[in-house]
Amino acid sequence: MRTWERYLPEIVAATTLLVATAISLVLFSRYGTYTTAFSVVWGIATLSSVSLFFAVRRSGEDWHRKLRILFVIGLVLGFVSIFTGIGGNGTDEPYAIWGYLSELLHGQDPYTTLLTIHYTAHVLWFWSAPVTSSTYYTYLPLLLFFQVPAGGDPPTQAIGYELLALACWAGMVYVVRKDPFASLALASPVVALIAANGFDDLLVLFFMTLSLRGWTTGTKSKVVEYLTYGMKQFANVFWFAYYLLKRRWVSAGLVIVVTLAFALPFLLWNPLGIGCQALVFSILPQCASQPSSARQVSDLYSHWNYYLWILWVYVLFHDWIHTTWNRWIAGRHRSIHAPSSLPTESE
């Protein structure tokens, strides 16, 4: 084995960051702000985190040791991004989440009250652009209350939320530390950078990971799971599909019931508000008169953080996914090559 192959995981991680950053600089110099292409580039970089497992295996090194090294690299990168702005502020969520909660605390419905915020997006510390974001709250209510209380100006509040997201990333890696495939992928510096940007997905994914791989049984597991029903809709879709695939019909029904229970106070307050923004995404005719932040098909690939959900599902359930896929392929092969039986002519 060549000497450099011992450092293959670090080389793969560094190369991924450098290539994605180089392409981002080209895009930024061309358009002057973030674009869909930017999200796709970093989304692909996120999905490529699965390669770290194979890089570690190729290196011949102890995977526990490499996991610690990758985790430290990601942690340092996260702190540098948060406190210097390098590669940061790729989303308005660290700024907006406190604004939505402030609206609620002042008696305003965040689902129908427009929030306008101003912040600076960075590619590198010396290359940045001002961003103005005007949005309505579109997630489920409980997510509003999971944040670090912080005073001061919006940038200070954003740092608190970014640190919370980074802590959730660290907790998620810790929970799956005994699974080499999942832990190495989630310890990727690219995933750490998603957390450092303050994407609220990290909070939801941490709780989901804790329920599935941490407190796997008992009351604590179910409480944590139920909390995710009130946070972000991806979690609800996941749990509903999860129980359908396991044919646990009552549990699948509970996903809907508990979700509606979390939404009930806002449904009683202003049913079209949360209904149109967070439950049916403005697709009903009754929503035509409501403010709209309706999701579009392009959102599935134009949001960097959405790729993290694909990565998370794959690395946590890769054994089941591969087994199911192989069974399906084998079934297709048998059906194609099965001898056809001709009907016999009746007398």
Assigned domain for 327 exists: no
Q: How many domains does the chain have?
A: 1
Q: Tokens representing 92?
A: 């308005």
Assigned domain for 58 exists: yes
Integer Cα distance of 149 and 131 in angstroms: 24
For position 71, what pLDDT does the model report? 97
Residue 324 CB coordination number (10 Å) = 12
What are 120's strand-pairing partners? 130
Phi, psi dihedrals of residue 148, rounded to the nearest 5°: -85, 120
**Are 243 and 252 contacting, i.e. CB atoms less than 8 angstroms apart?**
yes
Alpha helices in the chain (DSSP H): 8-31, 36-47, 51-59, 63-84, 93-105, 154-175, 180-186, 189-196, 201-209, 218-228, 233-245, 249-269, 271-274, 299-302, 304-337
pTM: 0.88
For position 72, what pLDDT does the model report? 97
Q: Tokens representing 317?
A: 């359930």
For position 149, what pLDDT does the model report? 67
- Annotate 9-51 with DSSP letters as a single string: HHHHHHHHHHHHHHHHHHHHHHHSS--HHHHHHHHHHHHGGGH
Query: pLDDT tens digits for the chain (347 residues)?
Result: 577 788 899 999 999 999 998 888 888 777 766 667 888 899 999 999 999 999 999 998 999 999 999 999 999 999 998 888 777 767 888 888 888 998 999 999 999 899 988 877 665 555 667 778 888 898 999 999 988 766 556 666 788 889 999 999 999 999 999 999 999 999 999 999 999 999 999 999 999 999 999 887 788 899 999 999 999 999 999 999 999 999 999 999 999 999 999 999 999 999 888 888 888 876 667 676 666 655 555 566 678 889 999 999 999 999 888 888 888 777 776 767 666 444 444 43
Assigned domain for 346 exists: no
Domain residue limits at 236: 3-316
**120: helix, coil or strand?**
strand
Assigned domain for 332 exists: no
Assigned domain for 169 exists: yes
For position 5, what pLDDT does the model report? 83
Assigned domain for 299 exists: yes
Integer Cα distance of 20 and 22 in angstroms: 6
Integer Cα distance of 103 and 110 in angstroms: 6
